[in-house]
Amino acid sequence: MSRRTMQSPIGFVVDSELRVVEFIGHTSPLIRLSPGAATLDLARLLTDSLRPAVLEAVDQARETLRAVAVGGVSYYELGVRRSADLSVTPEPGGLCRIELHTHGRASKASAMAHSGSTAEELAVELEATNEELRATVNELVNANQEIRRAQAALEKSQNELRARYQFMAAVLDTVGALILVLDPEGRVVEFNRACGVASGGPQGEAGALLFWDFIPPEQLAEWRGIFAKLLEETPTSTHESDWLVRGGNRRRIAWSNTTMRQPDGVRYVIATGIEVTARYLAEQFLLASEAKFRAVIESAAEAILGVDPAGKIVIANPSAARLFGYTLEELLSWELTRLLPERFRAAHPDHLQSYFDQPRPRKAFSGSFFVGRRRDGSEVPLEISLSTISTAEGEVAVAFILDITERIQHREHLQALAGKLLKAQEEERRRIARDIHDHLTQTISLLGMKLGFLAREVEGNQAAVRAGLEEARHQVDLIHEEVRDVSHRLHPTTLEYLGLVPALESLVNETEKLEKPRVHLVIGQLPDSIPQGVATAFYRIAQEALHNALKSAAAENVSVHVNTQDGHVHLVVMDDGCGFVVEEARRAGGLGLLSMEERARELGGTFAIQSARGSGTRIEVTAPLAAAR
């Protein structure tokens, strides 16, 4: 007879979701990891030989609300068949207490003798263990693939955000103008309502129209050359050309073109056009006669004013009268300063004299505007282009005036939208980081522990298998560390729980792990608590600046200074890298510089950057502590 003695019970307590909340005794023979991993799923902790019996007993105990006992449950430990008595007892709060009363353990040799196991049976058991090892390795491969998919999903999300931002910026900034989205072949992918109206009504569906069909034949070669340069090298271009409309008529359009690029080249060309037919015709008629010019400006949609060197208005059209709320007779009897706010009137004569000293056509500058004053005292933002004509009375400065109130409103809307996009991006980073931490890292940790357990289970001449498992476990540890770093870069928990200074110190330490650059962090006087919005914005700006210094500027030394003064937080990041031309970077449309500016603007602060080729870069940000939103 084999000797059998009852051991102390082992097992665990599970909640209503079958998650382990407490371990009983020494459970390592029953599960694939140490008892430290509480709140894991019960089904994932059990070995294959115990899982069916335990789960069935748990279901029965919960249905009957009574203890369930199952005798003679068999399982394998170290290749030896063992038996135990299983009991499942319901407890208050939806918990279940699961206990295994195992029988005494004999040596493996005596167990083989008493159990009557043959060499063939042990070989079958060994093959089962090997099969479990292979399944674990497959799980490891699947986990690695899951990590790669997560990284690909992150990259795709960033590309989609970038493409969405560029598209909305291009469209919203030019609402009311002609907008055409073209593919590299010149096919019209999208066009707005203003474009359809300017063309004389719908002429087909997007995708079936060719841009070239709307260009006069004599101007087609010029347009194709501009288009080719956009596809090859030039990111933006501006020019004027005629636009064919229904009935064979033409309209003059001032085009501003830009591209949406992907790594493999240009995906779309966005053509934004403003109709300048009145201005164009006016310029042409000015060459013929003043009488024809006056006829044109009378019918022009743009407001037009002519001023002599003394500042008196000598030319005005009905559009100008409507814009300022006066009659033509009133305009023609006043000086131009009456149409300006009082704060600008004193300086205007000097500006006017300066123009007449060097009279030449001057186009409106993008992003800048003048301010006019209406009859009711309200102010209106204006975009003004200047030209001169010669009359019998002498030189006259002609101003072509456009009310840009709607454009500014759309620009402000775009800025607000950009702020929301930054906040949405921050929330998405936080969500992805949380998902990686809560799910993927636990799965990888579980796999590592399972591999360690299985490595200890291999005996005898299985050294090669043991070595392979140890190597696989090492790879799991590396993957775990890599996932942790990705999660931290997406949303550093140090920033959320400890604040700006510890987060900046962690960022500097991570940067200095690389070969270059050397980073010097200087922390000045700071309050005990900085609002989360300010801390997040300043951290992201410092992160972007360090990234640029390392990747683009090839800097060897970087200094980061942060302090508060007069209720404002100040951040200065300086590097000794190769530097760049700031205006060229702005025209290139990169998101890094734009995102830093938008973060500072969202706080009601200021952003300044100084850089030149060969002289490094200095970025300075200031924001009020009380303005975080």
CA-to-CA separations, 282 to 304, 387, 523, in angstroms, rounded: 10, 11, 61
Read off the pLDDT band of 461 (50, 70, 90). Answer: low
Which residues, in sequence order, are bridge partners of residue 239? 255
Helices (H), 289-404: 290-299, 318-324, 328-331, 342-345, 348-357
For the segment 73-83, the average pLDDT, to the nearest whole number, is 61
**pLDDT (tens digit, 9 = 90+) per residue, 117-156?**
566 766 776 777 677 777 777 777 787 788 788 778 878 8
Is residue 44 within 8 A of residue 446, CB to CB? The reply is yes
Q: Is 90 exceeded by the pLDDT of residue 572?
A: yes
For the segment 453-482, the average pLDDT, to the nearest whole number, is 65
H or E segment to which residue 492 belongs: none
From CA 522, how far away is CA 532, in angstroms rounded?
Answer: 21
Residue 570: its pLDDT value, please? 94
From CA 4, how far away is CA 422, in angstroms rounded?
Answer: 68
Q: Is 80 exceeded by the pLDDT of residue 330?
A: yes
Which one-letter DSSP state was computed for residue 372? Answer: E
The percent of residues in the chain predicted with pLDDT above 70, rounded, is: 67
The pair of structure tokens assigned to 237 is 């271009």
Q: What is the pTM of this model?
A: 0.34
**pLDDT (tens digit, 9 = 90+) per residue, 497-528?**
788 888 888 888 877 776 667 888 999 888 88
More confident residue, 487 or 343: 343
Q: Is 50 exceeded by the pLDDT of residue 105?
A: no
Read off the pLDDT band of 434 (50, 70, 90). Answer: low
Read off the pLDDT band of 493 (50, 70, 90). Answer: low
Which residues, in sequence order, are bridge partners of residue 401? 303, 384
Q: Is 60 exceeded by the pLDDT of residue 355?
A: yes
Is residue 95 within 8 A of residue 58, CB to CB? The reply is no
From CA 209, how far away is CA 203, in angstroms rounded?
Answer: 8
**pLDDT (tens digit, 9 = 90+) per residue, 546-571?**
888 887 767 888 999 999 988 899 99
Is residue 222 within 8 A of residue 230, CB to CB? The reply is no
More confident residue, 589 or 565: 565
Q: What is the CA radius of gyration of the chain?
A: 38
Residue 108: its pLDDT value, please? 43
Read off the pLDDT band of 622 (50, 70, 90). Answer: very high
Q: Is 60 exceeded by the pLDDT of residue 538?
A: yes
Q: Is 50 exceeded by the pLDDT of residue 628?
A: no
**pLDDT (tens digit, 9 = 90+) per residue, 267-317?**
888 888 888 888 887 777 666 666 666 677 777 778 888 888 888 888 888
Q: Is 70 exceeded by the pLDDT of residue 383?
A: yes
Is residue 215 within 8 A of residue 241, CB to CB? The reply is yes
More confident residue, 363 or 35: 363
The pair of structure tokens assigned to 570 is 């100040």
Residue 232 CB burial class (10 angstroms; 0-12, 13-18, ≥19): exposed
**pLDDT (tens digit, 9 = 90+) per residue, 153-170?**
878 887 887 777 667 655
Pairing of strands 606-611, 178-182: unpaired
Place of tokens 């700031």: 582
What is the residue-averaged pLDDT of the chain?
75
Pairing of strands 394-403, 379-391: antiparallel
Instruction: Please list, residue by residue across 394-421, b when 16 or more beta carbons sit within 10 angstroms of its beta carbon and e when fewer do.
Output: eebbbbbbbbbeebeebbeebbeebbeb
Residue 571: its pLDDT value, please? 94
Q: Is 180 helix (H, G, I), strand (E, B) or coil?
A: strand
For the segment 76-91, the average pLDDT, to the nearest whole number, is 72
